[in-house]
Every structure is written in C-alpha cells, then in structure tokens.
A and B are shown apart, each in its own frame.
Chain A
Amino acid sequence: MQDQSESSSKPTESSVLSVPSVAASEVNPFHRIAADFAESKLALFGLLLLALVLLAALLAPLLSPQNPYDLAQLDILDNRLPPGATSADGKLVYWLGTDDQGRDMLSAILYGLRISLGVAVTATLCALTIGMTIGLAAAFFRGRLDTVLMRIADIQLSFPSILIALILLAVLGQGVGKIIVALVAVQWAYYARTVRSAALVERSKEYIDAAIGLALPSSRIVFRHLLPNCLPPLIVVATVQVAAAIALEATLSFLGLGLPITEPSLGLLISNGFTYMLSGKYWISFFPGVALLVAIVGINLVGDQLRDVLNPRLQ
C-alpha cells in the first residue's frame, strides 16, 4: 500500500528519500540529483570547499603540526611570530604565525574548526528534530495546537536570531551546552515552519487519505508516509542553517558570551587576536576568519544548488 501510494503521488521526490525498493525500478534518483547538482561549477566548488573543511576538522589531530592545547608543546618565546617564521628551536615553521602564547595558528584553527563545526552541527540536528516534530504535529493535527505553535514560531521569527540568542545566553551563562540550547531555540521555528507548509500540501494528497482510511496509527502515517515526502525542503533549510549557526556561534563567542575559553572555537580565536590587531599583528584574527569564511561560503554554495535541485517546481 505504501509503495503504491507513494510512487503514484510523486515518483521522483518520494522515492529519493523513502523507499529504496521503488527507486530501483526507475532511474536511480540519487544519480539524477548528483547529475543536476554537478551542472553548476560554482556548487561543485562549494562542495570541494565543504569537503576540505570537513576533512580538516575531522583530521585535525593528524594534520596539525602541534597540539595547540598541550602547554608542554608551546614555547612562550615564539609568541606573536608572523606567518612563515621558524620556531626558536628551529624545528617548526609557523605557516600562519603564532598567537600571544606561542601557539601555532594553523593548529589552533584546525582544532577551532572542529569545535565550531561540532557545535553548529549538533545544534542543527537537535533543532531539526524538534522543529520537524512540532511542524509535523501542527500540520497533521491542525486545529488549536497548530494555531498556538505557529503563533509562537511567528512571534519568535519576528525577532532577529542574534537578539534571542543573546537574551538566552545572558540568562543561561556560558558553556557548550548552553550555546547549543541557544542555537536550537533560535533555529527550531525555521524547521517547524518549513515542515508544516510542506506537510500541509502532502496531507491533502490521496495517499494520506488512503493511509488514514486503512486506520494506520497516526505515528506511522506521520513518520512513514508524511515525513519522507517533506524532507527535501527540510534538507535545504538545514544546510543553510548550519552556516547560520556557525556564524552566530562565532559572533556570540567573539562577544564573550558564547563558548568558554576552554573550548576555543574560531570566534574565540578571532576575539583573542583583536587585542593585537591594532599593533599590526593581523594574522591572529585574520586566518581564523578566513577558515570561518571558507566553511560558510562552502555550505551556502552547496545549499543554493540543493535548493534548485530538490525543488520540484524547477524540474
């Protein structure tokens, strides 16, 4: 029943993300998406940037010349060296310079990237799950629940995200868990809104009526039938929101309200360099910012293309 109904409603979109057995009978939709995606050189460039950033973050301990947070490896004599300088003992070349404690900036950035991406991705996944559930519930049950939830989402969306995050952090204080809570609180409404509008369209289709007619339990209808067909727009929003979360976390950490000094994300590295910039030592702030920019541009380029590829109206 499920296979039949879904393949008759929207063959390309639904088979992509739900039932592989249907997909096998047609042109493999993943191939089609990959081919569409590869049409834009800019998007491929974005994918390359994103892959580089992810690899750098995952392999940070292997790639970095020193462990930037092992104090035994730092030499205070090497503090604030310009890019390309050699360490005092002549063993190491600081390609991106050092900070005020003689820490290799390249290593610090690789580790910082890890923290920034980790926080942003965790927050996005949590917000996605929460927002998705709320949006699906609103669309499926309608009525009062829908009105109340969406009104809350609307009111929240009328305030800039940075303000909401600031209020929360002013209340909660610093910490990894707290900044994740703040990022989730900022993001959930986007997902709830997106899923709800997609789910409302899907809900009016016959396969859902059929499933209701079969007296399937609500949870099964929502998660097995409704959800897979609402995923494409959600994926697009999630991609863009990861980039937004990275930028927001960096901004909050820069303001001194985000991560504590023990979790030096890219924003904290930039903040640390701010002090030394007025004396012309640009590299402590400059290079972490470049890493941030590369990550955000990569994600945004991929997200833009995904939006075009996954949009059924453009096919």
Chain B
Amino acid sequence: MLVYVIRRLMQSVVVLFVMSALVFVGVYAIGNPVDILINPNADQADIERAIRGLGLDRPLWEQYVVFLKQAAVGDLGKSFAFNVPAIQLILERMPATLELAVAALLIAVVLGIPLGLWAGLKPNSVAGKTIMAGSILGFSLPTFWVGLMLIMVFSVYLGWLPSNGRGPTTVLLGVPVSFLSWDGISHLLMPATNLALFKLSLIIRLTRAGTREALLQDYVKFARAKGLSNARIVGVHVLKNILIPIVTVVGIEFGSLIAFAIVTETIFAWPGMGKLLIDSINVLDRPVIVAYLLIIVTLFIVINLAVDVLYSVLDPRVRLSEAKS
C-alpha cells in the first residue's frame, strides 16, 4: 500500500511536470500579451520597459526556467491584468468554487440516493420509471442551457432568485462562505442545482443498479428469512453495500464538478476560479491560466489518489496494486 502510494505520487510529479511544460509552451506560444496589456498609444520606451517588466523579452526556455524556479517556491507569476500574484488571485476565488461544488455534490447525493433506491426497489412502478426517464433527460440536457433556462424561469419570470453573483459572505473559520445567510443561499441555490443535475442523474443510475443487484444477493434473502423488517434490510444491509461504488464515484466526480463549475460560474457570474479562467483566457492573462491549470491538475491528482486509498479502506477486498494488463 505504501509502495503503491509512493509510486503514484512519483507518477503524479511526472504528470505535473509534463503538464506544466505543455501548458507553458502552449500558452506562451500564442498571441502577444503586449498588444493586449500595454496601451497602444504608449511610446516605444514605455512598451519596452513594460516588456522587460513582464519578462517577455527573454527566450522562451529562459522564461520557463524562471517560471519553474519560482513555481518551486509557490510563486506562479504575477497576473498581467491585475498585477497581483496569480496564485493569490486563484486562491482568493477558490472558496467560492469549492462552496459551489460541495453544495452541488450535497444536492446530488441527498436527492440521488433516495431516488435511486426507490427506482431500484420498484423498477416497474410509475414512479420508478419516471425517475429513470428523468435521469436520462438529466444526462442529455446540456448543462449550460439548463442554467439559462433556470435563470429565465426563476429570475426573469418568477423573480424568486437572483440571476448572478454570490451574495453576501460570512467568514467561517477564516473562509468566506455564503450559505449562512438567506440572501447567500438564494444566490447559491440556482448555480448549485444546475451543477448538480448531471451528477444527480449519475447517482440515481448507480444507486438503482446497485440496489437491484444487491436485492438478488444471498445476504438479503438471509435477512428476509431472519424476519428483518424491510426498512432494516434496505436501510442497513443494501445501503451499506451500494455505498462503496457511490463513494468512489462521488470522490472522482468532485473533481469534475470543479471543472464543470467553469461553465456554471460563467453563466451565473459566480466569482470562482472557473470564471477567472475564462476571463483570463479572453484577455490572454497567461500567468493566471498556467497557475489555474497547475492548481487544478494538482487537485485532481490528490483527489484521485485519495479516492483510491479510501476505496481500499472501505472495501478490504480491494488491494491496491498496479493493474496487470
């Protein structure tokens, strides 16, 4: 297990390294930030001073070496547009994204597991079929379009919920959060629902499939033969066994929630890192793009590793080892 974790970590470092080089070269090879960031009316001396200030006059490899040296001490460069450290810019916006992703995950789990159980226990009932049809729709609906439709219904026509922004935040344990005030929740509700939709469908399907499979197992028959109540069979025996794959998926999907938050944040003008990325791409703010990508890649590596380890803890039958192909 320890060997496995160490090997995975080493592999992760390689991935991170390759990604950083690819992203750096790619991002720095396109466009010219000078055109965008420096006032075109400035005189030649001003432009040259600005280029030197941004380090853009040096060759690409030299810029990369400087970048790596600084990255090693947690300095990913200064944003061209805001003139503050890129990493600070991203970390400032990270709580907003994490709050959104966690809220979406909660919605997906709290609604998805009971609905999936229901559909799995009564697959041929009207409710069961409706739930499944709904989940197919949830898979097929383009997330960004659903977001627009939510805004149209709940903000424009009904006027119940605000269509953009995060609302007031309260500092909880040093992190600004918005779910502690009603106004904050009303801002959070729509983007979180929008982001949750796809995962909700996924969890419904997983829970349903798991439930149907578990119901056929001997331990369920045995529990019935013992005369246990239905509630106990489902609530304790079935649920416990279907939770293992669900925990894994929830873990992996948390990363993809953060990635998909890019779309949701853009629609609802949620001030998270995803919106920052899109804004930065639009103005070619390279340090921020590179920093965002490195941070998200790191985040993914950590999440994937944590899920693998957690999985082996939850299910002792799983042994962590390099898959033999």
Q: Which residues of A contact B (CB under 8 A)?
A: 146-147, 150, 155, 158-160, 162-163, 166-167, 170-173, 243, 247, 250-251, 254-257, 267, 270, 273-274, 277-280, 282, 285-286, 289, 292-293, 296-297, 300-301
Contact = CB atoms under 8 A, between A and B. Distances in A.
A171 B26 contact: yes
B263 to A, nearest CB: 6
Contacts of B262: 162-163, 166, 255
A285 B149 CA distance: 9
Nearest to A257: B281
Interface stretch (B34-42, B98-106, B138-146, B236-244): B138-146
Nearest to A301: B136
The 10 lowest CB-CB distance pairs between A and B, nearest first, are A171-B26, A289-B145, A160-B256, A160-B259, A163-B259, A296-B140, A297-B140, A170-B281, A254-B144, A247-B142
B259 A162 contact: yes
B149 A289 contact: yes
Nearest to B156: A280
A278 B163 CA distance: 9
Nearest to A150: B325
16 contacts: A147-B325, A160-B256, A162-B262, A163-B259, A163-B296, A167-B23, A171-B26, A172-B26, A243-B140, A251-B263, A256-B282, A274-B267, A278-B156, A285-B152, A296-B141, A301-B136
Q: Could you tell me the dominant secondary structure of chain A's interface residues?
A: helix
B278 A250 contact: no
B293 A293 contact: no
B282 A158 contact: no
Contacts of A297: 136-137, 140
Contacts of A273: 148
Interface in B224-244: none
B256 A146 contact: no
A276 to B, nearest CB: 11
Given A255-B266, A301-B136, 17 more contacts: A146-B325, A155-B15, A159-B259, A160-B255, A162-B259, A171-B23, A250-B145, A254-B144, A267-B144, A270-B145, A278-B163, A285-B148, A285-B152, A286-B152, A292-B142, A297-B137, A300-B136
Contacts of A279: 156
A296 B148 CA distance: 18
B204 interface: no
Among A160, A243, A296, chain B packs the most CB atoms within 10 A around the CB of A160
A280 B158 CA distance: 11
Interface string B236-265: 000000000000000000011001101100
Contacts of B143: 251
Q: Could you tell me the dominant secondary structure of chain B's interface residues?
A: helix
Contact of A285 (B145, B260, B325): B145
A102 to B, nearest CB: 22
Interface residues of B, number: 43
B27 interface: yes
Contacts of A289: 142, 145, 148-149
B260 A173 contact: no
A170 B291 CA distance: 13
Interface string B115-148: 0000000000000000000001101111111001
A158 B157 contact: no
Interface in B175-227: none
Nearest to B267: A274
A277 B156 contact: yes
A150 B260 CA distance: 25
A187 B228 CA distance: 48
Contacts of B296: 163
B273 interface: no
B304 A158 contact: yes
A300 B152 CA distance: 27
Given A170-B27, A171-B27, A278-B151, A300 B260 contact: no
A282 B260 contact: no
A256 B280 CA distance: 12
Nearest to A146: B325
B263 A162 contact: yes
Contacts of A243: 140
Nearest to A196: B325
Contacts of A255: 144, 262-263, 266, 278
A170 B289 contact: yes
A250 B142 CA distance: 8
Nearest to B301: A158
B148 A256 contact: no
B64 interface: no
Contacts of B260: 160, 162
B45 interface: no
B300 interface: yes
A253 B121 CA distance: 41
Nearest to A288: B145
B49 to A, nearest CB: 28
A297 B137 CA distance: 7
A261 B170 CA distance: 41
A172 B30 contact: yes
A274 B145 CA distance: 10
Nearest to B290: A170
A298 to B, nearest CB: 9
Given A160-B260, A280-B156, A251 B163 contact: no
Contacts of A171: 23, 26-27, 29-30
B325 A277 contact: no
A293 B156 contact: no
Nearest to A246: B142
Contacts of A162: 259-260, 262-263
Contacts of B266: 255
B152 A282 contact: yes
A273 B263 CA distance: 16
